[in-house]
């Protein structure tokens, strides 16, 4: 494992297979089928309303995130970091990039879901200021409950008197 800060950049179609593989083994593990297969990832990379972000250490892809942008809200579809790079601020840096991108687009709310049983994800998003909105029974293939969280990312600038 290389040390230091990862390089963050928008994904390119050549990254799709590695992103899809990470999704399969880090996010979709235990679910039937493969929802985020390479063709779907390429479609997301090419979509104007979606940002697919990757984190690299050296020339190795170590994490990714996929976020869809709406008019006033964004939805984080996926975020994953390879286990050996977890707890090294890679996910946090990707979230900061995504939040800055959303703010630039005039978006004020980011929403996301993850398996309610994923206590690590719950702690990670709580640490970033996300709050629990609701649980959704059967969200994952009718068998697993999801926890939806959201955050108002607008910055509050104090009034200035000149």
Tell me if 2 is assigned to some domain: no
Tell me if 96 is assigned to some domain: yes
* The residue to which tokens 């800060």 are assigned: 5
Domain that holds residue 76: 7-152
- Sign for the CA dihedral angle at 28, 32, 35, 36 comes to positive
Instruction: Indicate left, alpha or beta for 48 from its phi (over 0: left) and psi (-120 to 50: alpha).
Output: alpha
Tell me if 66 is assigned to some domain: yes
Tell me if 159 is assigned to some domain: no
Task: Count how many domains the chain has.
Answer: 1
Q: Tell me how many degrees the CA angle 60-56-11 measures, rounded to the nearest 5.
A: 105
Tell me if 103 is assigned to some domain: yes
Tell me if 162 is assigned to some domain: no
Dihedrals phi, psi of 75, to nearest 5 degrees: -125, 120
Give the separation between CA 19 and CA 58, rounded to whole angstroms.
16
* pLDDT tens, position by position, 57-115: 988 999 999 999 998 899 999 999 998 888 888 999 999 999 999 988 889 999 999 88
Give the separation between CA 123 and CA 118, rounded to whole angstroms.
9
This prediction's pTM: 0.87
* pLDDT tens, position by position, 2-53: 446 789 999 999 999 999 999 888 887 767 666 888 999 999 999 999 999 9
Q: Say which CATH number the domain at 88 has.
A: 3.40.630.30
Tell me if 75 is assigned to some domain: yes
Helices (DSSP H) in 15-152: which residue ranges?
Answer: 16-22, 38-46, 90-104, 119-127
């Amino acid at each position: 494992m290389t040390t230091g800060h990862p390089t963050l950049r928008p994904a390119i179609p050549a990254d799709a297979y590695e992103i899809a593989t990470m999704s399969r083994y880090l996010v979709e593990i235990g679910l039937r089928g493969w929802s985020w297969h390479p063709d779907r990832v390429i479609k997301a990379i090419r979509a104007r309303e979606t940002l697919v972000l990757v984190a690299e250490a050296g020339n190795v892809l170590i994490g990714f995130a996929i976020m869809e942008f709406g008019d006033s809200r964004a939805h984080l579809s996926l975020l994953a970091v390879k286990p050996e790079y977890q707890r090294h601020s890679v996910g946090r840096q990707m979230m900061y990039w995504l939040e800055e991108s959303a703010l630039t687009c005039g978006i004020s709310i980011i929403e996301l879901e993850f398996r309610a049983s994923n206590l690590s994800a719950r702690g990670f998003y709580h640490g970033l200021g996300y709050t629990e909105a609701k649980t959704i029974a059967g969200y994952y293939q009718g068998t697993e409950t999801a926890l939806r969280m959201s955050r108002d990312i607008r910055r509050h600038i104090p009034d200035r008197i000149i």
